[in-house]
Chains A and B, each alone.
Chain A
C-alpha cells in the first residue's frame, strides 16, 4: 500500500488488495483508499460526526454519479466510523509514471512536446470532453465544489471526475457558474501559457453537456467580473 496524496483533509493510498473480493466487477486491478484521519484539535464527538458526515456525503455523491452514468470512480466499500472509502482506481498513468490527471498530462506535454503539441486536436477533444462531463454534472444539479485539473483523471481519452469532499446539490446558476470559475482560475494558474485556449475548449464542451447552459454562462460573466474587482482591490 502506497501513499498517493496527503491533503489537508484526507490521505489517499493505492493498493492492489481488494477489501473483500478477488474478482470484482471493476476494470482496474488497483484500488484507492481515501482516509480521513481524526483531527486532534477537534472535540472527539464533533470530530467523529464531521468525519462520518463527510465520508457519507462523498459516497452518496459518488453513488448518484454511478446511477447517472457520469464518469467517476465506483465505490467499493466504506467505513464511515473510521472515515474510509475504498474506490476504483482511475487512470492508466503517464509515460513518466505520474498519475494521469489532466494537470499532469498537460504538464507532461509542456515539458516534452512543442507548442503545437500542447494545443493539438487531441488536447482540444480531451478538454471538450472534460467540459461536456462538467456540463452533464450541472445538468443534474450536481456541483463539484473543487474543480481543478488535478481532480480530473484520464482513463485513456476518457475524463473522470474525482474528489467530492466539497460537492453539493444545487440548481442555482450561481453555484454552477462558480464551479466553472474555480476551474478557469485553476487552469490560468497551472497552465498559464495556453489557458485561453484550454478554457475556451472547456466551455465548448460544457455547452454540449448542459442543455440549459445559457443562464449559467451569463452568470459566469458576472462571477468573473466580481473576481476581477476583488483582485484589483487586492
Chain B
C-alpha cells in the first residue's frame, strides 16, 4: 500500500496523497467522465505529474487552497479545484485544469490523487476504494517521492509555465530546490 498522509499544524484535516503510475487512457477518460457527473467516489483532486516539481510544491498548493477556503477568498466551487488552481501561476481555472489535471492525451499517464479528509476516516480504506474504483493494479500504486517528480517534469516546459527562464540559478544548489522555491513564489503571487 503506497500513499502519503500529512497534517498541517493550523488545520484539523488530514491530507491524503496517492500516486498511480501508467494509468491507461481509457481509465483516465473514465475518471474525467465520473468527475463531470459529480460521482462521489471520485471526490479527489486529480493531477498529472508533468508540472509538479516536488512534494513541497504540491503541499504548498494544498495548504494555500485550504487557507483560501478558510478566509472565504477561494476562487473555485470545490476545494479540489481550488487545490489545482493553487498549483498554477495563472488565474484561469480552465487553464490550470488543462495543465495540472488529468492528462488523457497519451496512451497512459501518471495520476496523482489528493484528498483532504476528516481525521476519523481510514486512509487505507480510501486508498483501496480508489484503486478498486479505477480498476488499476496494486503495482501501479507507488510511493510519491521527490526523485519521481523530478523525473516526470520536463524542466524546460516547467520553466516556461512558471516564467522562470530569466531567473538566475546557482550551480552549487540542487536545481529541484531552486525550482521549488521559484514555483512556490509564482503560485503565491498568482492573481495579485
Chain A residues with CB under 8 Å of chain B are 17, 19-26, 56, 59-60, 62-63, 66-69, 74-82
Which residues of chain B are within 8 angstroms of A17 by Cβ–Cβ distance? 9
Mark interface residues in B50-74 (1 if CB within 8 Å of A CB, else 0): 0000111001101110010001010
| B18-26, B118-126, B130-138, B184-192 - the one binding chain A | B184-192
Given A20-B62, A59-B189, check contact A67 B182 (CB 8 Å): yes
**Contact call A67/B192, Cβ cutoff below 8 A:** no
| B35-43, B75-83, B108-116, B160-168 - the one binding chain A | B160-168
**Contact call B188/A78, Cβ cutoff below 8 A:** yes
Docked Cα-Cα span, A80 to B6, in Å, equals 24
Given A25-B177, A63-B186, check contact A19 B54 (CB 8 Å): no
**Contact call A21/B60, Cβ cutoff below 8 A:** yes
16 A-B contacts, Cβ less than 8 Å apart? A20-B56, A21-B55, A21-B59, A24-B56, A25-B174, A25-B177, A25-B180, A56-B192, A62-B185, A63-B189, A67-B166, A67-B182, A69-B167, A75-B184, A75-B188, A80-B192
B10 interfacial contact with A, CB 8 Å = yes
**Contact call A19/B63, Cβ cutoff below 8 A:** yes
Residue tally, chain B, CB below 8 Å to A: 34
**Contact call B185/A25, Cβ cutoff below 8 A:** no
Among B168, B169, B176, B185: residue with most chain A CB under 10 A: B185
Mark interface residues in B152-175 (1 if CB within 8 Å of A CB, else 0): 000000000000101111100010
Q: B interface, by DSSP: helix, strand, loop or mixed? A: helix
Chain B residues with CB under 8 Å of chain A are 6, 8-10, 54-56, 59-60, 62-64, 67, 71, 73, 164, 166-170, 174, 176-178, 180-182, 184-186, 188-189, 192
Among A21, A63, A68, A80: residue with most chain B CB under 10 A: A21
Q: A63-B186, A69-B170 are in contact. List 16 more A-B contacts (CB 8 A).
A: A19-B9, A19-B63, A21-B55, A25-B174, A25-B181, A26-B181, A59-B188, A63-B189, A69-B168, A75-B185, A76-B184, A77-B60, A77-B63, A77-B64, A78-B188, A79-B71
Which residues of chain A are within 8 angstroms of B182 by Cβ–Cβ distance? 63, 66-67
Shortest Cβ distance from residue A231 to the other chain B in the assembled complex, whole angstroms = 40
Docked Cα-Cα span, A80 to B71, in Å, equals 10
**Contact call A82/B62, Cβ cutoff below 8 A:** no
Docked Cα-Cα span, A77 to B188, in Å, equals 7
**Contact call B55/A79, Cβ cutoff below 8 A:** no
Which residues of chain A are within 8 angstroms of B71 by Cβ–Cβ distance? 79, 81-82
**Contact call A20/B59, Cβ cutoff below 8 A:** yes
**Contact call B63/A74, Cβ cutoff below 8 A:** no
Q: Which of B63, B164, B168, B189 has a CB less than 8 Å from the CB of A60?
A: B189
Docked Cα-Cα span, A137 to B73, in Å, equals 34
**Contact call B185/A63, Cβ cutoff below 8 A:** yes
**Contact call B67/A79, Cβ cutoff below 8 A:** yes
Among B59, B164, B188: residue with most chain A CB under 10 A: B188
Which residues of chain B are within 8 angstroms of A75 by Cβ–Cβ distance? 181, 184-185, 188
Which residues of chain A are within 8 angstroms of B59 by Cβ–Cβ distance? 20-21
**Contact call A20/B181, Cβ cutoff below 8 A:** no
Docked Cα-Cα span, A24 to B55, in Å, equals 9
Shortest Cβ distance from residue B83 to the other chain A in the assembled complex, whole angstroms = 12
Closest to B163 in A: A67
Shortest Cβ distance from residue B175 to the other chain A in the assembled complex, whole angstroms = 11
Shortest Cβ distance from residue B137 to the other chain A in the assembled complex, whole angstroms = 29
Which residues of chain B are within 8 angstroms of A77 by Cβ–Cβ distance? 60, 63-64, 67, 184, 188
